């Protein structure tokens, strides 16, 4: 029986229906993004339309059978047949739309649908050795892209140009795509935590904030660096040092047995004690895997206890509107002794 049963504490008359692309890939091997995965004590099924039959057949784990639905083989008939004898069906309530849920209830009216999206997502928190190395590879592609653009950042160059160079380099290096919309900001715009790069020109004395990542064989990376072009404003340079200290404090706090809340608090205290607490408005970090933002979270509300095999970002920042901002982010693996830094790149301020 699939390990997911144990994670969800399900009985043998229960099944699991997966519809999100991340959980379908994690638990069945199929990465196509559209379809249905049903796991029962009797069998494990992947149901796809004709666009994905071949891909699902190539990618599916050995214990899964692939079934093509269409005009002559309705999905509803498959779901009824494969769910026969089930009393309870765990489903992803955080992903399933109301319309889709209503349709599923009509197809399987005698089954109790049990919302278990959070617990299913939690089952992805511990990465396998293979997953860890794919994420590490994705992160190193990002590190190489960062090294590449350092030679291109100078006065007169636009944010969008640097963003394009980051993305082009990562794709040339084997990435499938970016793991999120690339952020490149300069000057006062560095105070926008998720700002969109535009035609804003880098000027001497500016900070340039870059937050970017890629997807390699399905797995995401994430890193942020802030560099200076020429000698920066003294206050911003001081802010950089504060964020650097907070980031290292956060890294030191990330280890087995520590809660996400405690890790966040350790880094946040550095910024608060320096008088900039109100300028750090987001959480310290988040899990990264098949999805760029996944569990566990390192936030003031996170009671999740860190365990070996989890991969999280550590990314404190200070953002002062109309002045500028700094964020520094590494991606780290929780190990039995502490962490393995997958970014493994200096945080000393680079002045170009």
Distance CA 192, CA 226 (A): 13
Of 96, 122, 148, the residue at which a domain comes to its end is 122
Residues 298 and 182 in one domain: yes
Residues 112 and 218 in one domain: no
DSSP 349: P
CB 44 within 8 A of CB 62: no
Residues 168 and 68 in one domain: no
Residues 222 and 310 in one domain: yes
- How much is the pLDDT for 2? 53
Of 122, 137, 169, the residue at which a domain comes to its end is 122
Residues 196 and 227 in one domain: yes
Residue 331 lies in a domain: yes
Of 122, 155, 186, the residue at which a domain comes to its end is 122
* Chain mean position to CA 161: 25
- In this structure, the number of other CB atoms found within 10 A of the CB of residue 338 comes to 16
Strand order in the sheet with 44-48: 64-68, 44-48, 36-39, 14-18, 88-91, 112-115
- Helix orientation angle between 159-172 and 129-150, rounded to the nearest 10 degrees: 140
Residues 271 and 288 in one domain: yes
Tokens 């970017």, located at residue = 212
User: Which own/partner contact pairs does 151-156 have at CB distance under 8 Å and 24+ positions apart?
Assistant: 153/202, 153/208, 153/227, 153/229, 153/352, 154/202, 154/229, 154/352, 155/201, 155/202, 155/203, 155/204, 155/229, 155/230, 156/201, 156/202
Residue 350 lies in a domain: no
- The CA distances from residue 167 to 45, 156, 184, 192, 343, in Å, are 37, 20, 11, 20, 17
Residue 346 lies in a domain: no
CATH number at 181 reads 3.90.230.10
CATH number at 65 reads 3.40.350.10
Instruction: Give me the domain span that covers residue 60.
Output: 3-122
- How much is the pLDDT for 58? 96
Residues 206 and 288 in one domain: yes
CB 260 within 8 A of CB 299: yes
Residue 75 lies in a domain: yes
Distance CA 225, CA 347 (A): 8
pLDDT tens across the length of the chain (352 residues):
457 887 888 888 999 999 999 999 999 999 988 999 999 999 999 999 999 999 999 999 999 999 999 988 899 999 999 999 999 999 999 999 999 999 999 999 999 999 999 999 999 999 999 999 999 999 999 999 999 999 999 999 999 999 999 999 999 999 999 999 999 999 999 999 999 999 999 999 999 999 999 999 999 999 999 999 999 999 999 999 999 999 999 999 999 999 999 999 999 999 999 999 999 999 999 999 999 999 999 999 999 999 999 999 999 999 999 999 999 999 999 999 999 999 999 999 999 9
Residues 331 and 204 in one domain: yes
- Helix orientation angle between 260-273 and 234-253, rounded to the nearest 10 degrees: 150
Residues 162 and 58 in one domain: no
Q: Which of 226, 199, 222, 197 is nearest to 210 (CA)?
A: 226
Residues 118 and 139 in one domain: no
Residue 352 lies in a domain: no
Pure H helices in 75-199: 75-82, 98-107, 117-122, 129-150, 159-172
pTM confidence score: 0.94
Residue 349 lies in a domain: no
Residues 93 and 146 in one domain: no
Residues 118 and 142 in one domain: no
Distance CA 163, CA 292 (A): 18
Residue 226 lies in a domain: yes
- In this structure, the number of other CB atoms found within 10 A of the CB of residue 278 comes to 10
Distance CA 239, CA 7 (A): 43
Q: How many domains would you assign to the chain?
A: 2
Residue 138 lies in a domain: yes
């Amino acid at each position: 029986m699939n390990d997911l049963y144990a994670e969800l504490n399900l009985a043998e008359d229960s099944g699991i229906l997966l519809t999100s692309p991340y959980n379908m890939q994690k638990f069945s091997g199929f990465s196509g993004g559209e379809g249905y995965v049903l796991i029962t004590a009797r069998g494990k099924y992947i149901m796809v339309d004709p666009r994905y039959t071949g891909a699902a057949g190539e990618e599916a784990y050995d214990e899964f059978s692939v079934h093509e639905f269409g005009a002559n083989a309705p999905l509803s008939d498959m779901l009824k047949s494969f769910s026969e004898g089930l009393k309870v069906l765990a489903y992803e309530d955080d992903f399933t739309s109301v319309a889709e849920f209503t349709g599923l209830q009509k197809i399987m009216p005698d089954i109790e649908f049990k919302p278990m999206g959070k617990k299913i997502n939690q089952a992805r928190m511990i990465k396998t050795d293979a997953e860890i190395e794919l994420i590490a590879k994705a992160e190193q592609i990002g590190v190489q892209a960062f090294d590449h653009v350092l030679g291109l950042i100078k006065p007169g160059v636009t944010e969008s140009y640097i963003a394009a160079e980051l993305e082009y380099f990562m794709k040339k290096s084997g990435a499938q795509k970016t793991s999120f919309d690339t952020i490149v900001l300069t000057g006062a715009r560095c105070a926008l935590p998720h700002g969109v790069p535009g035609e804003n020109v880098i000027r001497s004395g500016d900070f340039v904030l870059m937050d970017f990542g890629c997807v390699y064989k399905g797995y995401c990376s994430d890193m942020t660096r802030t560099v200076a072009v020429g000698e920066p404003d003294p206050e911003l340079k001081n802010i950089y040092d504060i964020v650097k200290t907070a980031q290292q404090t956060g890294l030191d706090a990330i280890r087995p047995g520590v809660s996400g809340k405690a890790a966040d608090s350790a880094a946040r205290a550095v910024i608060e004690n320096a008088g900039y607490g109100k300028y750090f408005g987001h959480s310290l970090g988040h899990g990264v895997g098949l999805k760029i933002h996944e569990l566990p979270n390192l936030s003031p509300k996170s009671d999740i206890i860190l365990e070996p095999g989890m991969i999280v970002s550590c990314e404190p920042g200070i953002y002062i509107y109309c002045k500028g901002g700094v964020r520094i982010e590494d991606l780290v693996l929780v190990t039995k002794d502490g962490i393995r830094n997958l970014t493994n790149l200096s945080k000393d301020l680079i002045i170009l």
